[in-house]
């Protein structure tokens, strides 16, 4: 090997030994006629000294510039007193150079490696190989590798088999747009890139593989408004002869092992569980961040008779909700801050943000300050104060609208306030959200939609019961939520053709369409499908959370832009006509049709 040590391993234990290190010129200082280089490799930095007493080496060292790649042999010695750097593993020592080889030169890099540098995203993606040299990105890539390693170990230890499923496959039922791949051998036909291995993992259970996992690449051709990528990675898991409790236990074990191994963090055992209904009621969210102690309180019954139509309207509507969010100490919020929060909830569809400041709770109405007080009866005000537990110095925010708007707006406001007011307690709050509705009604399309996916098993065993009352049917689905982010979701699957047909019927999938799209799965269920259940975790998001990063692009080596472009390689690129002809396709050019 070209090196005897990584930079980070050159500690005081190596003093007085001759070693060889390889890496990049991170920083150079000339001081007192001596050249000092911080040499960087994957493990960190080490200080290298070039002394004019070694004139041949010194002459070469004089030409060294940032990001030159060098090999240095020398003797490790203590740094002079007063120059020890306690923040480095190698901070007590330096290498007195006796041999220097320049392995490669470097032009001035287009990005500085200084973390504080503020360069546009475009340059950082275009020169990703320089960006990835930064200690932060090195740490992220190392963390990601540690995470997948720990995940694999936890699953291997629990008897799961790593099995690969196809990338060139059929359209999948996840609902987003598929990437298509034209077939050359069957012109006019297309493969789809999988949005998930869902159908294949179910087929593996029908195959008797018993326990499957895969760290699987998935693809969605969506508009990337949020922090998404056209290709992303999923920890994909499925097991046979298990129920929801079993699969939750298996995956808690995995996630606990992961946090213990990689971060040294002990997560709770077991994770708390909460029904979907409770999560929506208390937190306005199906992925509540339990580190934040603010909660929504329903007050529809208290304001149902109010003349204030903004409240009484939703209070008397089946689809409405009126709720209050108590903010301890919030009475000190300024008008400007409240205006900001009003704008914020507006993004979630709320048409305003009513509030009450509690100056003196004991003084009743007189101790309160609010533009809406005059619309509410004394009874209503007293009821709201009592139920919300309002105390002096608090502020109450109100939401009154369709339930979905109230939940979205107050749910988001709750999280925002939690961060703004420093009410985030503890570092990690995992949670299972369970007892999901099986379907939700889409009033525009006038039909039932699957809240998870159409292969999710209902809580009822009888297909007729599902058909009879889809509205109140609960599913055997479960989401793992971590700090307010959904990191994983799954369900017990339907394993009989009768129940699968009932689910398609409720969803209004015509039998021919079901046959055309999922016929092979329906057929497989006829030949001895075992009961099975599974889950999938978003690896990118999980690693992002563990890294404390703010975007999944921070934990993906070569991410794409919001327009699904790879600025480094220039993908997507042009294709030549001969190849398109082989694929049986042509470009849809402006008006002109080719021959």
Which residues belong to the annotated binding site?
174, 220-222, 229, 452, 486, 493, 538-541
From the number of C-beta atoms within 10 Å of its C-beta (0-12, 13-18, 19+), residue 58 rates as middle
Write down the least CB distance from residue 274 to its own copies, Å: 24
From the number of C-beta atoms within 10 Å of its C-beta (0-12, 13-18, 19+), residue 380 rates as buried
Among 173, 182, 352, 367, indicate the residue that binds its own copies (CB under 8 A): 182
Nearer to its own copies by Cβ, of 164 and 392: the residue is 164
Among 17, 83, 98, 142, indicate the residue that binds its own copies (CB under 8 A): 142
CA-closest candidate to residue 477, choices 267, 279, 221:
279
Among 40, 321, 452, 493, indicate the residue that binds its own copies (CB under 8 A): 40
Can you name the residues that pair with 369 across neighbouring β-strands?
A: 357
Among 30, 162, 305, 471, indicate the residue that binds its own copies (CB under 8 A): 162
Write down the least CB distance from residue 111 to its own copies, Å: 9
Please give the annotated binding residues for L-aspartate, written as ranges: 174, 220, 452, 493
DSSP 8-state class, residue 458: B
φ/ψ of residue 98, rounded to 5: -115, -15
Among 36, 50, 200, 448, indicate the residue that binds its own copies (CB under 8 A): 200
Nearer to its own copies by Cβ, of 230 and 463: the residue is 230
CA distances from 523 to 204, 498, 508, 516 (A): 14, 11, 19, 12
Question: With binding defined as CB under 8 A, does residue 73 bind its own copies?
Answer: no
Q: Are 449 and 488 in contact (CB under 8 A)?
A: no
Question: With binding defined as CB under 8 A, does residue 193 bind its own copies?
Answer: yes
Write down the least CB distance from residue 483 to its own copies, Å: 24
Cβ count within 10 A of residue 258: 24
Between residue 202 and residue 231, which ones bind its own copies under the rule CB under 8 A?
Answer: 203-204, 206-211, 217, 219, 221, 230-231
Between residue 401 and residue 460, which ones bind its own copies under the rule CB under 8 A?
Answer: none
**Half-sphere exposure at residue 309, Cβ-oriented, CA atoms within 13 angstroms:** 0
Question: With binding defined as CB under 8 A, does residue 255 bind its own copies?
Answer: no
φ/ψ of residue 380, rounded to 5: -65, -45
Angle (nearest 5°) at CA 244 between 238 and 245? 115
Write down the least CB distance from residue 62 to its own copies, Å: 18
Write down the least CB distance from residue 484 to its own copies, Å: 26
Pairing of strands 231-240, 395-402: unpaired
Write down the least CB distance from residue 503 to its own copies, Å: 16
Question: With binding defined as CB under 8 A, does residue 560 bind its own copies?
Answer: yes
Among 129, 319, 339, 513, indicate the residue that binds its own copies (CB under 8 A): 129
Q: Are 295 and 325 in contact (CB under 8 A)?
A: yes
Tokens of 546: 């563990």
Among 329, 472, 526, 551, indicate the residue that binds its own copies (CB under 8 A): 526
Q: How far apart are CA 62 and CA 73, in angstroms?
A: 17
Write down the least CB distance from residue 168 to its own copies, Å: 6
Angle (nearest 5°) at CA 259 between 254 and 265? 135
Between residue 256 and residue 315, which ones bind its own copies under the rule CB under 8 A?
Answer: none
């Amino acid at each position: 090997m070209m090196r005897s040590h990584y930079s980070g391993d050159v500690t005081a234990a190596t003093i007085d030994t001759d070693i060889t290190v390889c890496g990049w010129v991170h920083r150079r200082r000339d001081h007192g006629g001596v050249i000092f280089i911080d040499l960087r490799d994957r493990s960190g930095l080490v200080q290298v000294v070039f002394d004019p007493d070694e004139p041949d080496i010194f002459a070469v060292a004089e030409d060294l510039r940032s990001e030159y790649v060098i090999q240095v042999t020398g003797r490790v010695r203590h740094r002079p007193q007063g120059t020890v750097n306690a923040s480095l593993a190698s901070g007590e020592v330096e290498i007195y150079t006796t041999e220097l080889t320049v392995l490669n030169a470097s032009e001035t890099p287009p990005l500085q490696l200084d973390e504080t540098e503020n360069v546009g995203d475009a340059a950082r993606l275009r020169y990703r190989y320089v960006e990835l040299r930064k200690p932060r990105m090195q740490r992220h890539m190392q963390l990601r590798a540690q995470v997948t390693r720990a995940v694999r170990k936890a699953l291997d230890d629990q008897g799961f088999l790593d099995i690969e499923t196809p990338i060139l496959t059929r359209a999948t039922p996840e609902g987003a747009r598929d990437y298509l791949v034209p077939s050359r051998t069957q012109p006019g036909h297309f493969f789809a890139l999988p949005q998930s291995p869902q159908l294949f993992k179910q087929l593996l259970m029908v195959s008797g593989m018993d326990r499957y996992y895969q760290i699987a690449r998935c693809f969605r051709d969506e508009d990337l408004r949020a922090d998404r990528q056209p290709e992303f990675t999923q920890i994909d898991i499925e097991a046979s002869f298990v129920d929801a409790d079993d699969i939750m236990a298996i995956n808690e074990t995995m996630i606990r092992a992961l946090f213990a191994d990689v971060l040294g963090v002990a997560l709770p055992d077991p994770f708390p569980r909460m029904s979907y209904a409770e999560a929506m009621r208390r937190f306005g969210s199906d992925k509540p961040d339990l580190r934040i102690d603010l909660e929504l309180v329903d007050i529809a019954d208290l304001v149902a008779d109010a003349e204030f139509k903004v409240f009484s309207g939703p209070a008397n509507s089946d689809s409405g909700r009126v709720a209050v969010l108590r903010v301890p100490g919030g009475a000190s919020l300024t008008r400007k801050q409240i205006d900001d929060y009003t704008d914020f909830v507006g993004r979630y569809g709320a048409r305003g943000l009513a509030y009450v400041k509690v100056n003196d709770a004991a003084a009743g109405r007189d101790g309160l300050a609010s533009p809406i007080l005059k619309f509410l009866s004394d009874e209503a005000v007293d009821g709201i104060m009592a139920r919300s537990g309002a105390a002096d110095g608090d502020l109450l925010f109100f939401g009154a609208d369709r339930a979905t708007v109230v939940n979205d707006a107050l749910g988001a406001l709750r999280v925002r306030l939690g961060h703004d007011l420093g009410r985030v307690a503890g570092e990690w709050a995992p949670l299972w959200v369970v007892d999901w509705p099986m379907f939700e009604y889409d009033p525009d399309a006038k039909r039932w939609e699957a809240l998870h996916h159409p292969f999710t098993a209902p809580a009822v065993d009888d297909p007729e019961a599902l058909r009879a009352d889809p509205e109140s049917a609960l599913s055997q689905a479960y989401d793992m939520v971590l700090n307010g982010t959904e990191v994983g979701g799954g369900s017990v699957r339907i394993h009989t053709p009768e129940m699968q047909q009932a689910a398609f019927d409720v969803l209004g999938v015509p039998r021919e369409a079901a046959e055309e799209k999922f016929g092979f799965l329906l057929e497989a269920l006829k030949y001895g499908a075992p009961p099975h259940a599974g889950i999938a975790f978003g690896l990118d998001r999980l690693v992002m959370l563990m890294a404390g990063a703010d975007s999944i692009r921070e934990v993906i080596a070569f991410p794409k832009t919001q327009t699904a472009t790879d600025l480094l390689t220039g993908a997507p690129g042009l294709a030549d006509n001969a190849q398109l002809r082989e694929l049986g396709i042509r470009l849809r050019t402006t008006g002109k049709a080719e021959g």
